[in-house]
């Protein structure tokens, strides 16, 4: 996929407030949560740009101004961004229908909380070769009961869907990965200004209408970062080079990437991989063991220990405190000598 003449447009379903990441996402859209100190959505846009996608529509409903203020018209990322806003939640297909005026040719849809290195170019070639009206990316999982499984025939044409099946309903381990390539005419099946879903509405309807719907299986990296556990896993996987982001190129497995404005005491011990943001202060005797991400304007007190943890912006870690496998929200203070393991902590929450 090369320039804009041959590359499809893309719709990113920015979605709602992300209750599964609450309270981290209180006051921030889920796709704006920091991953290696950059908004998750910025990684997604860089991923699309890698495959030549320039025209990107952000379909949002929760705090769209936060996204618009950060990204603007997208020119700094080499993209052209268009924003559509839902006054009421419209569901996955309804949100794309809301952007229909911008979609006059083949386009890609991505759920806004998916991180993947799926080859979009190869999927598009498959879609065109099959003459599909809709192609659904499929990923194999051990337990499909929490997802929507997709049944296909030997030619990969979709024959059925089972949404969040019970164990006795499982007929395949291939699930809907939340990435689609669509032809614009399928939006004619989606009602205007109505809550309507791809998974339970449009895709089953296309099958009933005998429209060609195909599944595209892939085995590369895929992660839904919508829970604290998965969010932490994504940051760790990127630092450990289990997957690469198109946005950040200078990571290595044991490297400490430190902003030049950070101040680190000579007696502090830092073992990579780690990313340390601007204007951080790390005091004497502190121990940091990666994979760790420390956001901008953080303060790590004397003799504090941090391991396998992500700190958002403006966090203060008290002297002698110890954190392992934690997520600490922006502007949170951890008291001296606190011992916190496997917790999410924000300014308005007790450790949990």
Instruction: Say what the pLDDT of residue 9 is.
Output: 95
Burial of 262: CB neighbours in 10 Å, binned 0-12, 13-18, 19+: middle
Say how far residue 76 (Cα) sits from the centre of its chain: 20
Domain-ending residue, one of 228, 262, 277: 228
Cis geometry, peptide bond prior to residue 195 (ω within 30 degrees of 0): no
Whose CA is closest to 269, among 248, 249, 285?
Answer: 285
pLDDT in tens, 226-283: 899 999 999 999 999 999 999 998 888 788 999 889 999 999 999 999 999 999 999 9
> Percent of the chain scored above 70 by pLDDT?
95
Residue 282 and residue 212 in one domain: no
DSSP, collapsed to helix, strand or coil, labels residue 317 as: strand
Residue 316 and residue 221 in one domain: no
With respect to residue 261, please indicate whether it lies within any of the assigned structural domains: yes
Domain-ending residue, one of 196, 228, 260: 228
State which residues form the domain around 129.
9-228
Q: Is the pLDDT of residue 20 over 80?
A: no
With respect to residue 32, please indicate whether it lies within any of the assigned structural domains: yes
Cα–Cα dist 83/68, whole Å: 8
Q: Assign residue 129 the CATH number of its domain.
A: 3.90.550.10
**Assessment of whether the complete model's pTM goes beyond 0.85:** yes
Q: Assign residue 327 the CATH number of its domain.
A: 2.160.10.10
Handedness of CA 304, 232, 255, 261 (dihedral sign): negative
Q: Is the pLDDT of residue 82 over 80?
A: yes
Better pLDDT: 255 or 156: 156
pLDDT in tens, 319-330: 999 999 999 999
- Structural domain tally of the chain? 2
Residue 205 and residue 288 in one domain: no
With respect to residue 316, please indicate whether it lies within any of the assigned structural domains: yes
Sheet strands side by side (includes 256-258): 256-258, 274-276, 292-294, 310-311, 327-328, 344-345
With respect to residue 184, please indicate whether it lies within any of the assigned structural domains: yes
DSSP, collapsed to helix, strand or coil, labels residue 63 as: coil
Q: How far is CA 292 from CA 122, 229, 238, in A?
A: 34, 15, 11
Residue 39 and residue 138 in one domain: yes
Residue 206 and residue 265 in one domain: no
Residue 223 and residue 258 in one domain: no
Instruction: Say what the pLDDT of residue 1 is.
Output: 53
Q: Is the pLDDT of residue 352 over 90?
A: no
Residue 164 and residue 267 in one domain: no
């Amino acid at each position: 996929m090369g320039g804009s003449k041959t590359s499809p447009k893309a719709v990113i379903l920015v979605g709602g407030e992300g209750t599964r990441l609450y309270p981290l996402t209180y006051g921030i859209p889920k796709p704006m949560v920091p991953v290696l100190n950059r908004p998750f959505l910025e990684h997604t846009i860089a991923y699309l740009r890698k495959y030549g996608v320039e025209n990107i529509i952000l379909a949002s409903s929760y705090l769209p101004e936060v996204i618009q203020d950060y990204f603007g018209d997208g020119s700094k990322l080499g993209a052209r961004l268009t924003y559509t806003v839902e006054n009421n939640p419209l569901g996955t297909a309804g949100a794309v229908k809301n952007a229909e005026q911008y979609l006059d040719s083949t386009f890609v849809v991505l759920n806004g909380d998916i991180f993947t290195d799926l080859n979009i170019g190869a999927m598009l070639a498959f879609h065109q070769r099959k003459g599909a009206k809709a192609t659904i990316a499929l990923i194999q999982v051990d337990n499909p009961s929490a997802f929507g499984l997709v049944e296909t025939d030997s030619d990969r044409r979709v024959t059925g869907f089972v949404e969040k099946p019970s164990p006795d309903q499982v007929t395949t381990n291939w699930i809907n990965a939340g990435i689609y390539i669509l032809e614009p005419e399928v939006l004619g099946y989606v009602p205007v200004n109505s809550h309507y879903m791809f998974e339970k509405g449009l895709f089953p309807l296309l099958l009933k209408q005998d429209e060609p719907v195909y599944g595209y299986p892939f085995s590369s990296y895929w992660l839904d970062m919508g829970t604290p556990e998965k969010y932490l896993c994504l940051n760790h996987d990127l630092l450990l080079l289990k997957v690469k982001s198109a946005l950040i190129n200078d990571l290595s497995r044991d490297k400490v990437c430190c902003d030049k404005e950070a101040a680190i005491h000579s007696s502090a011990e830092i073992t990579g991989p780690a990313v340390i943001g601007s204007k951080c202060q790390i005091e004497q005797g502190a121990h940091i063991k990666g994979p760790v991400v420390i956001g901008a304007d953080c303060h790590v007190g004397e003799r504090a220990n941090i391991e396998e943890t992500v700190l958002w912006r403006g966090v203060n870690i008290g002297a002698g405190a110890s954190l392992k496998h934690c997520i600490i929200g922006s502007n949170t203070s951890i008291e001296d000598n606190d011992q916190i393991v496997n917790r999410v902590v924000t300014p308005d929450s007790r450790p949990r």
